[in-house]
Chains A and B, each alone.
Chain A
């Protein structure tokens, strides 16, 4: 059992997450308490989930993209575009009730999926390297977002829009429900249907999977569209949180945080394998790190240094070379006799 746990790729991410949360407990004994106030659950843990919602969403999309040996650098710009489209739509439609909200959400999601499809076409049909294909939209997307908002920060004065990011349902933030829905959808599609297997097959060898009868191109295309969709939903939540759209700064560096979350969660950038639950934990690590830094009173500016150190530690712990060099030597000394006898049977 212990052996199984040690081998699990989730072990180190979970340990890191627990350590970060425990550090909080030292500084703030009431960190884990959750109160029920005015029909809402309030507490630091709920807060981490709520604020981490966009990151978790985008990381889920990113996981599937990375599983096909791709990468999606454009998610930050898609967030900005989605926020801009959502905010502009609700402000320009004069309507009562929920009508404008549904139109805005629908329009934003359609555009985000199309934008993801554009990345997908470049990668799957034209055969451009994913990192370059999505770099185009990463650069141009922010320009387009500013074009939509006219270079200004658009403020929304339409109350229902706030529900997406700041609303509550059954005492929990509504964004948590969105995340749970998307996560369950992704888990169902990849683990209960053969789609997950197809994605991993395409990631480990696109040519071989094509020869095996898989439509590699369409699977890649779909993965990028899903990533665009996730970024679109994340963009709506983020823009609804602040009730405005900022083409320049919305979703800045989200692509990097999302990739980090995926890598911390144990999905290899080499593709062919993915771990959605790991990604969830990775995203939670990043969010709780941010919350911790703010709550224990470390200057916010050192946030980046701590983030860099955590990233390196997690990556090193996952590197087989590092484990062999650091931990391996000890094991060899202790189990030398055992290993030598095993070596004969193995060879």
Chain B
């Protein structure tokens, strides 16, 4: 895609996100030896592949003007369902994986239906979904279920070599495929246009005769689906099911999407931006690990400061584009 110059205001957050990522990576490579290697970069993808998938689903939800707080709990539930079906019921992964994906999609679909049919607040509905999913994973088992199965070992340990010594995992491949599909859905399908339209103004979308209800339900179903894919990747990563897995992950996801330049008011944002948002969260953690003397809580403070930066930037953009509209 060829970018027109000068950049539109809507692209500015995305450009800022990518620049900050490059700046932080440059800072890291300048300061620490061994930071500027392809493997350090690929590790960002490997360690955050589940977050990338979550952020993709969340991006659609936030562009439509909603929010999905249930994603972290759906990860826990997926890991629990996968672990108990594989280890306790001795089912083949061929059955387990579709069931897991179905569980997430159903939770998302039900949330979307409640939001649409009964006009409930997305915040409250997905909050209830969050409690429900985490509660259900405790109902399955309170204890951790460790997974010991050839399929999960294969998914966790297979290394796909690229560029000489460096490698990626199957999870990264899955995440990147989902990102590509989502970019296509967002920009080249009717569904994608509907999502942006609803986020811009739900009333206008309704008056234009767009299928608002169907789109809304599909958005939350897609987010639930992404959460369960993320849950499976997380399960490959941890090789266990546990009700406390991914505690608070929904906030990391929302933070990544916001840092990625998606407006929380809805109507504007890019899936690709969220990918970079996740990478920025990842690089903060990597830098703190490389620094060695910094304690883990600095991650939280750094994410907070970055959030603040981006939000103020977004506000300035919105105010300036409003002024532009008024003057023209």
Residues of A within 8 A of B311 (CB): 122, 128, 132-133, 136
Give residues of chain B (139-159) contacting chain A, Cβ–Cβ below 8 Å: 139, 142
Contact status B297-A147, CB under 8 Å: yes
Q: A120 to B129: give the CA distance in the assembly, Å.
A: 29
The answer to whether A136 and B312 touch across the interface, beta carbons within 8 angstroms, is no
What's the A-B contact tally at a CB cutoff of 8 Å?
Answer: 131
A260 touches B127 (CB 8 A): yes
Interface residue ranges of A309-331 to B (CB < 8 Å): 309, 311-312, 315-316, 319-322, 325
Stretch at the interface among A29-37, A221-229, A230-238, A297-305: A297-305
A206 to chain B, nearest CB (A): 15
Return A121 CB to nearest CB of chain B, in Å: 11
User: In angstroms, how far is the closest chain A Cβ from the Cβ of B295?
Assistant: 6
Residues of A with C-beta under 8 A to B142: 299, 301
A320 and B118 alpha carbons, distance in the complex (Å): 8
Measured between beta carbons, the chain B residues less than 8 angstroms from A259 are 123-124, 127
Which of B125, B139, B295, B300 has the most A CB atoms < 10 Å from its CB? B300
A308 touches B128 (CB 8 A): yes
- Residues of chain A contacted by B67 (CB below 8 angstroms): 131
Which residues from chain B contact A99 at a C-beta distance below 8 Å? Answer: none
Q: Is there an interface contact between B251 and A321, defined as CB atoms closer than 8 Å? A: no
Contacts of B135 in A (CB 8 A): 301-308
Instruction: Determine whether B63 belongs to the interface, using a CB cutoff of 8 Å to chain A.
Output: no
- Against B, the Cβ 8 Å flags (1 = close, 0 = not) of A154-172 are 0000000000000000000
Tell yes or no: B120 within 8 A of A by CB: yes
| Given A144-B301, A269-B124; A126-B315 close (CB under 8 Å) | yes
A178 contacts B by Cβ under 8 Å? no
Q: Are the CB atoms of A146 and B138 closer together than 8 Å?
A: no
Nearest CB of B to A227, in Å? 17
Interface residues on A, range: 35 or more
Once the chains bind, are A269 and B297 in contact (CB under 8 Å)?
A: no
Taking the nearest CB of chain A, how far is it from the CB of B321, in angstroms? 14
A325 surroundings in chain B (CB, below 8 A): 117-118
* Chain A residues positioned under 8 Å from B125 (CB to CB): 312, 315
Structural contact, B295 and A151, CB atoms closer than 8 A? yes
B106 contacts A by Cβ under 8 Å: no
Closest B residue, CB atoms, query A310? B128
One digit per residue, 1 when the CB lies within 8 angstroms of any chain B CB and 0 when it does not, for chain A 223-263 equals: 00000000000000000000000010000000010011001
A305/B303 in contact, CB under 8 A: no
| CA A163 to CA B298, docked complex, whole Å | 33
With A151-B295, A151-B297 known as contacts, the answer to whether A305 contacts B132 (CB < 8 A) is yes
How far, in whole Å, are A320 and B124 apart by their CA atoms in the complex?
Answer: 16
Q: Mark B112-135, 1 if CB is under 8 A from A, else 0.
A: 001001111101110111111011
The chain B residues found within 8 Å of chain A, CB to CB, are 67, 114, 117-121, 123-125, 127-132, 134-136, 138-139, 142, 243, 251, 254-255, 258, 264-265, 295-301, 303-305, 307-308, 311-312, 315, 319
6 inter-chain pairs at a CB distance below 8 angstroms, sorted by A residue, are A128-B311, A132-B258, A139-B251, A151-B297, A312-B128, A320-B119
Q: Which A positions have Cβ atoms within 8 angstroms of B?
A: 71, 122, 126-129, 131-133, 135-144, 146-147, 151, 247, 256, 259-260, 263, 269, 299, 301-309, 311-312, 315-316, 319-322, 325
Given contacts A143-B301, A151-B295, 20 further A-B contacts (CB under 8 A): A131-B67, A132-B307, A135-B255, A135-B258, A136-B307, A139-B251, A139-B255, A144-B301, A146-B300, A147-B301, A269-B121, A299-B138, A299-B142, A304-B135, A305-B131, A311-B124, A312-B114, A319-B118, A319-B119, A325-B118
